[in-house]
Chains A and B, each alone.
Chain A
């Protein structure tokens, strides 16, 4: 994998529940091809057992290990040390923004997960629907007679919410992942309910079109595109609703 070990200084934001935040530096000999999460785990294992952080799958399918690395949102399990520093360099590690910090690098994902739940988000979808519409879904002929299914792209890591300038100024804003989920759900099942949830000042209309969410998404979800496309769908629904009988309007609310 590599020719030589690097010496890297990891500056980690520490904070106990209710305590004052501070930065602690750990200097490690690391293989630059290793991932940031490996380094964090090594700090815990060999330097300081009090360090807290979230992690599970270590290969970008679970979304638990999102952190800010040198000020940038990263899924730390697939971010190599080489990609963010150099031999003798420094790596700053902070918890995600726009989530309450519980301790050290652990943030509370509760609000976010409940919002995802409310949006109807399913982690599994038919293969074709799990992809972005402008992509070619891969061949998936089923020899079982069943429609092949796939775990969808969004891993609910929260990076898009951490990076979002609108989420930073408005706690009530549901954020890119939830809106992307509503768009995905609507494309699978065009129910008025998804339109109603998205069409709100804490929803679609709070987005400033900064496109940072798409920039940081480690899974290719493209929340910014989904938000813009959902706006079109909402506008077209509004126009259609002018011609919709009132009785039907009520039924859909």
Chain B
């Protein structure tokens, strides 16, 4: 059993990396986060911003749905500062959608997701911009969040527990001890253009859609498939609630209110490398069509932005929409015979805290460090406090 303070390097400062840094620091680890860009500058920042109730996946992916509703309830408590908790509607627009209702309702019950049928007239009064032709409406505990601020709140909490964040530090290789095990990383400080090494008892690859690429630096394969989707933001907030199409997960089935905007998403296709993904025009047009189905006035509202985000789906024999949205931790000692390295990938923004908890459990078990997770019990630090007074440039 380990008795001196263990140290950990977390590669990647997206939701998972920030939540993991917080969890490990709270369990007494000396944590260094190494991130090649700004916080949340990959998939996390560009997420749709939906705090899932889980209902989206309750028919096709019950595991992910259960994770979502559990974490939804926790984040609602600990990260209230960056979540608008107005709920969401699932609405049916045609007979095919109506046919999905029994499976949807049963699935939600099975997953413990509170759904309630809302009288169509009442739903239209509450959300007057909704397509007046909706056939049924169900209410679910969806919410919208601010992506960067959610990452910052976890990072601020991590810093208060002593974690260090090395943003704009690009990991270029892994350090190995005499036995060939991983004992740290080589990085480049991109602000200064200088190389720097970090040493630790354990390194966690929390780079999401890039997890395969980073693990490749050690020659270890991680089957993650960057699966981008396009989102389109509009100049007007047309609803207060999240509007979901009552159907199997599909393109353009979620319309999210965020600040003064409405954001429709998303599509799904695979790429090899997530570093640069063009925003395809035909996909934008398709999103526009889908958005107007849910809220007709969007047809004539100006687009404010269009962007891509690459989901880190865990590869197998299946592809795209049918891949599970749940996450996976790999201990590369058991899988590949290399100790000192753990990879966590997959998952949803909504489940980032749970991903961090499971990964930190694995790390503690590996190092014989007997501390348990407390992140579900405490409110996160104010996101502004990611910046600390002692070190801001005068």
Do B191 and A106 have beta carbons less than 8 Å apart? yes
Please choose the segment from B38-46, B175-183, B341-349 that sits at the chain A interface, where 4 or more of its residues have CB less than 8 A away: B38-46
- Whether the pair B384, A103 counts as a contact (CB closer than 8 A) is no
Q: In whole angstroms, how far apart are the Cα atoms of A138 and B149 in the complex?
A: 25
Map CB proximity to B onto A14-26 as digits: 1 under 8 Å, 0 otherwise: 0011100000000
Partner of A106, one of B46, B168, B305, B382: B168
How far, in Å, is A128 (CB) from chain B's closest CB?
Answer: 11
- Report B280-320 residues with CB < 8 Å from chain A CB: 281, 284, 304-308
Q: How far is the CA of A184 from the CA of B107 in the complex (A)?
A: 43
| Residues of B in contact, count (CB < 8 Å) | 68
* B19-27, B60-68, B84-92, B363-371: which lies at the interface: B84-92
Q: Given that A59-B261, A110-B393 are known contacts, is A151 also in contact with B191, CB under 8 Å in the complex?
A: no
Contact of B85 among A108, A116, A149, A219 (CB under 8 A): A149
Interface presence of B263 (CB below 8 A): yes
A57 touches B45 (CB 8 A): yes
Q: How far, in whole Å, are A47 and B279 apart by their CA atoms in the complex?
A: 19
Q: Which of A17, A42, A61 has the most CB of B within 10 A?
A: A61
Contact A60 B149 (CB under 8 A): no
Binds B, one of A140-148, A158-166, A187-195, A225-233: A140-148
- Do B275 and A151 touch (CB < 8 A)? no
- Contact, CB under 8 Å: B193 / A16: yes
Q: A102-B393, A151-B144 are in contact. Are A78 and B305 (CB under 8 A)?
A: yes
A contact face: mostly helix, strand, loop, or mixed: loop
**Interface check B269, CB cutoff 8 A:** no
Known: A45-B275, A77-B305. A108 touches B45 (CB 8 A): no
Question: In the assembled complex, which residues on chain B have CB atoms less than 8 Å from the CB atom of A134?
Answer: none
Question: Which residues of chain B come closer than 8 Å to A1, judged between CB atoms?
Answer: 281, 284
Do residues A127 and B240 form an inter-chain contact, with CB atoms below 8 A? yes
A124 neighbours in B (Cβ, 8 Å)? 80-84
Is the pair A56, B87 in contact by a Cβ cutoff of 8 Å?
no
B100 interface residue, CB < 8 Å from A? no
The reply to whether A57 and B83 contact each other, CB–CB distance below 8 Å, is no
B148 part of interface (Cβ distance < 8 Å):
yes
Checking A113, A140, A153 against B259 with a beta-carbon cut-off of 8 angstroms, the contacting residue is A153
- How many residues of chain A are within 8 Å of chain B by beta carbon? 62
Q: How many A-B residue pairs have CB under 8 A?
A: 182
Check A61/B146 contact, CB under 8 A, given A56-B39, A138-B240, A219-B259.
yes
Chain A residues with CB under 8 A of B279 = 34, 38
Contact A153 B86 (CB under 8 A): no
- Whether the Cβ atoms of A62 and B45 lie closer than 8 Å is yes
Bound state CA distance, A111 and B384, in angstroms? 10
Contact A143 B87 (CB under 8 A): yes
| Interface residue ranges of B50-74 to A (CB < 8 Å) | none
B34 at the interface (CB under 8 A from A): no
A2: Cβ under 8 A from any B Cβ = yes
Pick the interface stretch among B122-130, B202-210, B245-253.
Answer: B122-130
Q: A59-B233, A60-B304, A116-B384 are in contact. Are A18 and B192 (CB under 8 A)?
A: yes
Identify which of B81, B148, B386 contacts A122 (C-beta below 8 A): B81
Q: Is B118 an interface residue (CB 8 A)?
A: yes
Structural contact, A56 and B46, CB atoms closer than 8 A: yes
Encode contact with A along B154-192: 1 for CB under 8 Å, 0 otherwise: 000000000000001000000000000000000000111
A243 lies within 8 A of chain B by Cβ: no
Distance between Cα atoms of A56 and B152 in the complex (Å): 11
From A59, A110, A123, A155, contact of B81 by CB (8 A): A123
* Chain B residues with CB below 8 A from A18, complex form: 192
Check B191–A103 contact: CB distance below 8 A: yes
- A–B pairs, 20, beta carbons within 8 Å: A1-B281, A52-B168, A56-B39, A56-B46, A57-B148, A58-B46, A64-B148, A102-B191, A110-B388, A111-B393, A114-B384, A139-B128, A140-B240, A142-B87, A143-B87, A148-B84, A149-B85, A150-B240, A150-B257, A151-B258
**Known pairs A50-B190, A60-B261, A103-B168 / 5 extra A-B pairs, C-beta < 8 Å:** A1-B281, A16-B193, A33-B281, A143-B139, A149-B85
Tell me the B residues contacting A by CB distance below 8 Å.
37-41, 44-46, 49, 80-87, 118, 122-123, 125-128, 139, 144, 146-149, 151, 168, 190-193, 231, 233, 237, 240, 257-261, 263, 275-276, 279, 281, 284, 304-308, 382-389, 391-394
